[in-house]
Amino acid sequence: MTRAFPALAAVLTATALSAAALQAPARSAMLPAAEGTRECTPGLAQYVAQPPDAFAQMGIEAAWEFSDGEVVVAVVDSGVAASNAHLGSAVLPGLDLVERGDGRTDVFGHGTAIAGQIAARPVSGSGLVGVAPKSKILPVRTYVDMQDQSMKAGKGPDPRRTAEGIKWAAEQGAKVIVVAQSTTQDTPALRDAVRLATAHGALVVASAGNASENDDGASIRFPAGYPEALSVTAVGRDGLPSQAVVHGLHVEVAAPGQAVLTTFLDSGDCVLAGEQASTSYATGYAAGVAALVAAAHPQEAPADWEYRMLATALRSSRSQREKNLGWGLLAPREAINFVNDGRLQGPHNPRFPAPAKQVAPLLPQPVPQDPPPVDPFLVVAGMAGCSAALTLAGVLASRLIRCGRTRSAQDG
């Protein structure tokens, strides 16, 4: 039976990832075809020949000249379907905190999609490959799915299991830990887990959150809101901020999150989030970039990797952060090659104090001289000229207004 992958966005109860922005393989899970689009079908391996759109947006192939991302990336999520042809050789035995197993199973699809963005291996007939093509995935299964039956059975997303999964992944030596989900709950367990991961040398990359009908789209989400974590928001295919995601001062960096080509359960490829951007998928791409950076600079700490990504992100003002995109759109090649000499203004530098702002020197001002005597005739003439100019300006303004109204009526 052919069907689109079910929508996974939901607002969870207080016992789970409440107000969660876990917007996973969405209603717009489709494959491009000659006649238009066709639905992704569980159990049917289908492939997309074109590379992911995000590669051009971020310049991924240019970054591969300097790093292939050969580190372990933990995916704390719904598990990972290691049976997908793109992932078989990339997925390590992991942990299942919900059922018996090692995390290499996924009936929901979210974790598999994130893993594919990061580490998908080449498959004949497919243009899909991961951002960090030599990385290894450590799956940590913390929930089964978000169906009512699973939620009632206690198998839905839960901050306590997420925290436990983060800690376990860090203790296994993962260098990047991706949590492509979020909650409004600032829990001690989550906070301590992120701190422990950082102390173990792992960078936690987390979703800044998708907006929901039950909030103002600006509430801080966790674990993204913790200072040690990298908080990721999403841009659309046009590179612009999306109104479908959370905005705010906890947002640190942006990555593409719409029309994402990635792995679909055990069934090849699928294009997800076609209708609107999702921070889940932006977080997947950011985790892949973090793997590239970490592999290129193994001697550095997680704070250094994060700083490289923030300092080099593309933005209009180098020294200013804004609520929609944080410090800007990720630039992987620049992040890898960045030299931290302490002179850059902008995000917090973990190795240098903030550089002093340049202040223009005070120059001596010339002493004004007495003005020449004014001819009364020139004053009168000047006033008349100003009056005429104002009259002309008023006429032109009225014509422009009338013209604008006419044009608007014609466009109507």
pLDDT, one tens digit per residue, over 190-218 is 999 999 999 999 999 999 999 875 666 66
Position 355 scores a pLDDT of: 81
**Identity of residue 325:** L
Note the pLDDT of residue 323: 87
Q: What is the mean pLDDT of residues 54-78?
A: 98
- Give the DSSP H or E segment for 294: helix 279-296
407, pLDDT greater than 80: no
Which pLDDT score, from 0 to 100, does residue 381 have?
41
Residues 78/140, Cβ–Cβ less than 8 Å: no
Is the model's pLDDT at 398 over the cut of 50?
no
pLDDT on residue 362: 57
pLDDT confidence of 90, banded at 50, 70, 90? Answer: very high
Residue 35: DSSP 8-state: T
pLDDT at 9 over 90: no
d(CA 70, CA 93): 17
The residue that leads in pLDDT, 381 or 350, is 350
Confidence check: pLDDT of 358 > 70: no
State yes or no: pLDDT of 406 exceeds 50: no
Q: Is the dihedral of CA 343, 346, 350, 352 positive or negative?
A: positive
pLDDT at 376: 42
Judged on CB neighbours under 10 Å (0-12, 13-18, 19+), 395 is exposed
> Does 60 score more than 50 pLDDT?
yes
The CA-atom distances, in angstroms, between 286 and each of 191, 257, 397, 404 are 21, 10, 50, 46
CB-side exposure of 316: number of CA atoms within 13 Å?
A: 4
pLDDT above 80: residue 23? no
pLDDT at 339 (0 to 100): 98
Strands (E), 149-281: 176-179, 203-207, 230-235, 253-256, 260-263, 269-272
Every domain of the chain and the residues it spans: 30-337
pLDDT at 87 over 60: yes
DSSP class per residue in 46-106? B---SPPHHHHHHTHHHHTTT----SEEEEEES---TTSTTTTTTBPP-EESSSSS-S---
User: Would you state the pLDDT for residue 397?
Assistant: 39
Q: Could you tell me the two tokens for 28?
A: 């717009």
pLDDT for 20 beyond 90:
no
With a cut of 70, say whether residue 24 has pLDDT above it: no
Give 180's contacts (C-beta < 8 A, 6+ positions apart): 22, 24, 75, 77, 110, 114, 206, 207, 279, 280, 281, 283, 284, 287
pLDDT tens readout for residues 288-344 = 999 999 999 999 999 999 999 999 999 999 999 998 999 999 999 999 999 999 999
Q: How confident is the model at residue 354 (pLDDT cuts 50, 70, 90)?
A: confident
pLDDT the model gives residue 211: 86
* pLDDT number for residue 163: 98
Can you give the pLDDT at residue 35? 41
User: Is residue 43 pLDDT above 80, yes or no?
Assistant: yes
Cα distance between the two ends of the chain: 46
- Res. 411: pLDDT tops 90: no
The CATH class given to the 30-337 domain equals alpha beta
Is a pLDDT exceeding 70 seen at residue 11?
Answer: no
Active site amino acids? 77, 110, 280
pLDDT at site 400? 35
Coil, helix or strand for 136? strand
Arithmetic mean of pLDDT over the chain: 84
Coil, strand or helix: which one is 189?
Answer: helix
In tens, the pLDDT along 135-194 reads 999 999 999 999 999 999 999 999 999 999 999 999 999 999 999 999 999 999 999 999
